[in-house]
Amino acid sequence: MIGIDRLSVSFGETAILRDVSLTLEPGRITGLVGESGSGKSITALAMIGLLPTGATAQGSINLDGRNLLTLPEAQWLDIRGNDIAMIFQEPMTALNPVQTIGAQVSETLRLNGTPRAEALRIARDRMDRVGLSAIPLDRYPHELSGGQRQRVCIALAIARRPRLLIADEPTTALDVTTQAQILDLLCDLVRADGMSLLLITHDLGVVAGMADHVAVMKRGEIVEQGSTEDLFRTHSHPYTRDLLRASRPVPRAPRPLSGDVVLQARDVTRRYGAVTAVDGISLTLHRGESLGLVGESGCGKSTLTRALLGLEAVQGGTITLLDRPGGAAMTRADRAKISVVFQDPYGSFNPRWPVHRILTEPFHLTGRPADAEARAAEALHQVGLTAADLHKYPHEFSGGQRQRIAIARALITRPEVLVLDEAVSALDVRVRAQVLTLLDDLQARLGLAYLFISHDLTVVRAICDNVLVMQAGRFVEEGPIARVFEDPQDDYTKTLIAAAPMIPADWLEDR
C-alpha cells in the first residue's frame, strides 16, 4: 500500500535517516524497533508529512503512484485522516484538555465537510468500536483513565477509516492488562478494516505477539528486516542480537535477606471521601532488599507511595522508617533517608538548572554541607557519569543519562531507601538493561533497599527479591518473586502474568 524507497532526512549537515526502505501492506502489521534516537519517530513523521521545520527529505514515500514528499501542504490535509493517521505515545498531551472528547473525535470529520450532527453520530460509532460505549461524548480528557484516553486517540485516528495507521509507542505508559486490551483492539481494527498498521515500539515482546513483519533500525538505518518469527530466530545483525538479549533480563536468583527492617507499614488506610484508595495495607522492607509493587492503574500504588514518602497523611495505621515515625510524621532529617526516582527524569528536572544545582537541591532537607559540590561529583561517579557533567543542562543528555542523573540526585543525601516509581518504563531495552545493572551494583555496594513500582513484570522479575500484587487498595498476593511468578495463587495475579507480552522461548534459543 505504501512503499518507502531510500528515504533520507537531514537537518543541515546532520543526517537523521539514511536510505530507509520499507513496504507496508494492507491487512498486515509491521513492527519498527530500535533504541531511542534511532530514527523511528522521524520515519513516522515523514510518512504523515509532519517533519520538523528545517528538515530536508530525499527519496520517496509512494502512495497510489504519488511521491508524498513532493506534495504541497494543501494536498497533505486531504491525505491525513483519510489515508494515513497516527496515534501518539502520550494521550494526555495529544488531546486538547479544554475540549470534550466528542468534539475532538468529530473535529476531523467536520474539517472534511461532514455536518455536525453526522460527525457526532460517527464519533459515537467510533467510540463504541474502541470499547467506550459507556463513556458520554461530553466528557473531558482529565475525567478518563490513561487507557480510556488512549482509546479516544485511537477513535480519533480511525474516524475517517484511514488505510494506514501509525502507532508510535501507543502503550508505553499503560499497565499490562490495559496494554493487552489496546493491542488486541489494534489487531481487531487491522483484521476488520484491512488497514495497514505500523507499530513503533521498543518492546520486542509486543512485536513478537502482534507483527507480521519487523524492521530493526539503528542510527537512522534499517539494519535488518524480515518476517517476525524468522528474524527473531535467525537474525544476523549484532545489533538485533543485542536488542533481543536486553529484552529478556535474567530473573534474580533467590538470596537470603538478613538485613534490618528499614521501612514498615502496618494497617495503613487512606481514603478520599467515600473512596478507600489504600485499605489496611501492611509491608516490610529490609536493608538490601528489592521489593516489587505491581498492579493495574488505579489500584492504589501511587497513593501508597505518596503515604510512604510522607507526601500524604493516612487515616489509619502506622508507618515507620528506621524504627522512627515515618510517613507524614517524619522529621526533615529523616526525610533525607528515603528518596524517590520518577518515571520521567526530564519532567522532574528544572530545565534552566545545571546538573550540580539539580543534584544538590535535596540538601534543603539537611542543610547544605561544605562539601556539597564534592558530594555531587561523587554521586555522578556512582552512576557512571563524571564531574565534567556537573555544569551541563538536562537537554544535553540522553534519556538514559538523565535517568542516571535522577538516581544520582536520589543518592545525594545518602538514603537508606530508594522508591523507584516506573523508573525504567520509558527507556528502550538496552538502556533499561544498563540502568538495571547500575541499580543492582548500587544496591550491592551501598546496601540500599528498593521499593520498585512497575507495570513491566519482566523488569520486576529481574530486579526484585519479593513482590506485592495490589488490587483495589489491597494486597491480593505477596511472596518471593520466583514463587509468585511460577505458581501464582490469586486469579488477578494470573491475569497480570498472562497479559504481559512475551517473546516465545523457542524463538530465543541460543544459536
Residue range 159-191, pLDDT digits in tens: 988 999 999 888 876 788 888 888 998 999 899
> What are the tens digits of pLDDT across the range 366-425?
889 999 999 999 999 999 999 999 999 998 987 788 889 999 999 999 999 999 998 887
For residues 333 and 459, membership in a common domain is answered with: yes
Within this chain, do residues 12 and 36 fall inside the same structural domain, yes or no?
Answer: yes
Q: Is residue 277 within 8 Å of 270, Cβ to Cβ? A: yes
Q: Residue 169 domain-assigned?
A: no
Name the CA radius of gyration of the chain, rounded. Answer: 24
Report residue 144 as a C-alpha cell: 478518563
C-alpha to C-alpha distance for 275 and 304, rounded to whole angstroms:
14
Examine the domain organization and report whether 328 and 426 are in the same domain. Answer: yes
Which residue in 338, 269, 254, 285 sits closest to 468, CA to CA? 285
- Amino acid identity of residue 398, one-letter, is S
Name the nearest CA neighbour of 201 among 84, 47, 35.
35
Does the residue 98 lie in any domain?
Answer: no
Q: Is the dihedral of CA 414, 419, 421, 426 positive or negative?
A: positive
Question: In terms of domains, do 386 and 457 share one?
Answer: no
Quick check: 33 pLDDT over 60? Answer: yes
Give the residue among 396, 499, 433 at the shortest CA–CA distance from 405.
396
* Residues 454, 158: Cα–Cα separation, whole Å: 31
Residue whose cell numbers read 508510535: 168
103 lies in some domain: no
Cα separation of 409 and 376, whole Å? 8
Residues 223 and 200 in one domain: yes
Residue 106: pLDDT over 90: yes
Mean pLDDT of 334-350: 87
| 132 pLDDT higher than 80 | yes
d(CA 270, CA 419): 19
423 and 406 within one domain? no
Residue in this structure with the C-alpha cell 467510533, named with its chain if needed: 126
pLDDT band at 324 (very low <50, low <70, confident <90, very high): very high
- Find cell 486469579 and name the residue: 491
Select from 387, 414, 441 the last residue of a domain. Answer: 414
Q: Indicate whether 363 and 498 sit together in one domain.
A: no
If you average pLDDT over every residue of the chain, what do you get? 91
Residue 451 lies in a domain: yes
Query: In sequence order, which residues have a C-beta less than 8 Å from that of residue 1 and are 6 or more positions away?
Result: 24, 25, 26, 63, 163, 164, 196
Q: What percent of the chain has pLDDT over 70?
A: 99
| Grid cell listed for 404 | 542516571
What pairs with residue 55 in β-bridges?
11
Contact 91, 84 (CB under 8 A): no
pLDDT computed for residue 509 by the predictor: 63
Burial 413-427 (b: 16+ CB within 10 A, else e): bebbbbbbbbbbbbb
In a domain, 119, yes or no: no
pLDDT of residue 89: 76
Angstrom distance (rounded) from CA 225 to CA 230: 9
Give the three cell numbers for residue 142. 482529565
Q: Which of 11-15, 220-224, 403-407, 504-508 has the highest mean pLDDT?
A: 220-224
Q: How many residues are recorded in the chain?
A: 511
Cα separations in angstroms, 356 against 130, 145, 374: 47, 37, 10
Q: Confidence class of residue 510 from pLDDT cuts 50, 70 and 90?
A: low
Backbone angles phi, psi at 487, to 5 degrees: -140, 65
The answer to whether residue 78 sits within a structural domain is yes
* 264 found inside a domain: no
Residues 6+ away with beta carbon under 8 Å from 114: 106, 122
**Contacts for 124 with CB less than 8 Å, ≥ 6 apart:** 102, 137
User: Which three cell numbers, joined as nine digits, stand for 272?
Assistant: 478520599
| Domain match, 302 and 223 both | no
Segment 203-233, tens digit of pLDDT: 899 999 999 999 999 999 999 999 999 999 9
Q: Are residues 436 and 483 in the same domain?
A: yes
421 and 408 in a common domain? no
Dist. CA 188–CA 395, nearest whole Å: 39
Strands of 235-379, DSSP E: 261-272, 275-286, 290-294, 316-321, 324-325, 338-341
Task: Please state, in angstroms and rounded to a whole number, the distance separating the CA atoms of residues 121 and 105.
Answer: 10
Residue 345 banded pLDDT, cuts 50, 70, 90: confident
> Which helix (H) or strand (E) is 32 found in, with range?
strand 29-33
Q: Say whether both 292 and 388 belong to one domain.
A: no
> Does an H or E element contain 491, and which?
helix 491-499
Pair 456, 246: CB distance under 8 Å: no
pTM for the predicted model, two decimal places: 0.84
Average pLDDT score over residue span 12-16: 91
pLDDT tens per residue, range 286-306: 999 999 999 988 889 989 999
Alpha-carbon distance of 55 to 136, in angstroms, equals 41
Range of the domain at 4: 1-83+195-230
Q: How far is CA 380 from the centre of its chain?
A: 25
Distance CA 182, CA 193 (A): 16
The answer to whether the CB of 175 falls within 8 A of the CB of 296 is yes
In a domain, 139, yes or no: no
Q: Do 422 and 504 fall into the same domain?
A: yes
Last residue of a domain, one of 414, 445, 461: 414
Grid cell for residue 445: 555496594
Residue after which a domain boundary falls, among 394, 414, 434: 414
Q: Is the pLDDT confidence value at 488 over 90?
A: yes
Which residues, 6+ apart, have CB-to-CB distance to 432 below 8 Å? 246, 249, 424, 459
**Where is 453: in which H helix or E strand?**
strand 449-453
Question: For residue 249, what pLDDT is reported?
Answer: 80
Number of domains in the chain: 3
Angle at 248 between CA 39 and CA 300, to 5 degrees: 90
Task: Say if CB 426 and CB 265 are below 8 A apart.
Answer: no
CA distance 33 to 29: 13
Query: For residue 217, what is the domain's CATH number?
Result: 3.40.50.300
